[in-house]
Structure 1
Amino acid sequence: MNSTRKYYEKNSKTYFDATYSIPVNLYSPFLKYIPEGGLIIDIGCGSGRDSKYFYEHGYIVEALDESTALCKIVKENIRIKVINKSIQDWKPEKLYDGIWACASFLHLNIEDLSSAFGKLKKCITEEGVIFVSVKSEIETGYQDDGRYYINFTEDLLEDILHQNQELHLEELWYTKDNMDRNDFKWMNFILKKL
């Protein structure tokens, strides 16, 4: 088990309590692309906060997370399909109208990022979108708590798109942190198939 996963296994309740009620202002830019009642997968669902929002707004939702402890919490709070796998081990079996990856891809290294996007482009519908929110202006590497983070830049995104030419950048914007952490910004983007 990698140290990032160990962190979430050990701190699942604390993480849930800290993140479940954080207001998120990122839903509208994503949902404008999703048909009413569309199928969404929440990759790296964490506390299940976003999955719950989508479910309560009439979307069909599946959630994916590597942490067994977090998957258990999500199953206790929302009646949706929860898949306990890493993005690397997940084998998609259907096409999604929307893929939501909020604060999850920031734990992947460069090699895993490229293969993750390669996988995602194959499991969205023709009009489907991929939403990603990652940290920028941080140090790449392991934090004191054992979690790995990658500093996401526009150059890195350009490299990923170069390797996955079936995808194009639809929108890109930056936001401040909703937990009042001022040492980084969130880089948010939406990708579509060409």
Structure 2
Amino acid sequence: MRQELETTIAFYDEKYAESTEHLDMQQFYDRFEKYLPEGASVLDAGCGSGRDSKHFIERGYTVTAFDASETMCECASKLTGQEVRKLTFQEMDYHDCFDGIWSCASLLHVPEDELTTVLSKLFLSLRDGGVLYASWKCGEAERVEVSSGRFFSDMNETRLTQYLQLTDHSELKEIWYTKDVRNSCVSQNWINAIIKKRGDAS
């Protein structure tokens, strides 16, 4: 498993940023931002190129960002003009810091036997009543993509509900399905979720 995860990170160390930096994510921003207070503190968890961090900064939010890929951190820092931490989900050390966490197409690389712990860390990072946006490729199991060697833990509504029940910290507010926004990948289906931290979860 370690080798597959290292290969996954290495994939993003190459030319991934330039292929995703200009994608139109407005429909997803709108779903997330309606839960945020004015001037919210937002964590971009697995920020990639920094595209989404840049949007949130321009919207007036206070943004913290991290990524597991050193190259992605450099790209995101250059794009946003602020420091981006090199960090994995498993290494997160935030507590009661954020009104919202944006985890777009990043939790899908967390192994299923670590996902409950990672979700718990994310909810600990949120303030009471804060929300997490997350997205995964649709599916029912872990897999390694043959073409790239990347590791994925795919998700469906049943699996997601089971993981959230194990965390005992959350309320599923919205769940919806979309096509990939990349023209070259429109056949790929995604599951999206907005999850709220309950006020008794600290």
CA contact (8 A) 1:43 1:64 kept: yes
Residue pairs, 1:1-194, within 5 angstroms: 2-9=6-13, 14-24=15-25, 25-137=27-139, 140-143=142-145, 144-180=147-183, 181-194=185-198
TM-score by length of 2: 0.89
CA contact (8 A) 1:61 1:80 kept: no
5+ long unaligned stretches in structure 1: none
Q: What one-letter code is carried by the residue in structure 2 that aligns with 1:141?
A: R
CA distance in 2, matches of 1:138, 1:56: 37
Cα RMSD, aligned residues only: 1.6
After the TM superposition, list the runs of 4 or more consecutive aligned residues in structure 1 that deviate by more than 2 angstroms: 137-140
5+ long unaligned stretches in structure 2: none
Q: 1:140 Cα shift? A: 3.0
Q: What one-letter code is carried by the residue in structure 1 that aligns with 2:56?
A: F
CA distance in 2, matches of 1:157, 1:16: 28
TM-score by length of 1: 0.93
CA contact (8 A) 2:178 2:192 kept: yes
- Residue identity over aligned pairs, in percent, reads 34
Residue 51 of structure 1 aligns to a residue whose secondary structure is helix
Q: 1:183 Cα shift? A: 3.3
- Higher share of residues assigned helix: 2
Q: 1:98 Cα shift? A: 0.2
Q: What one-letter code is carried by the residue in structure 2 that aligns with 1:8?
A: Y
CA distance in 1, matches of 2:56, 2:192: 18
Cα 1:138–1:20, aligned 2, differ >3 Å: closer, same or farther?
farther
How many residue pairs get aligned? The number is: 191
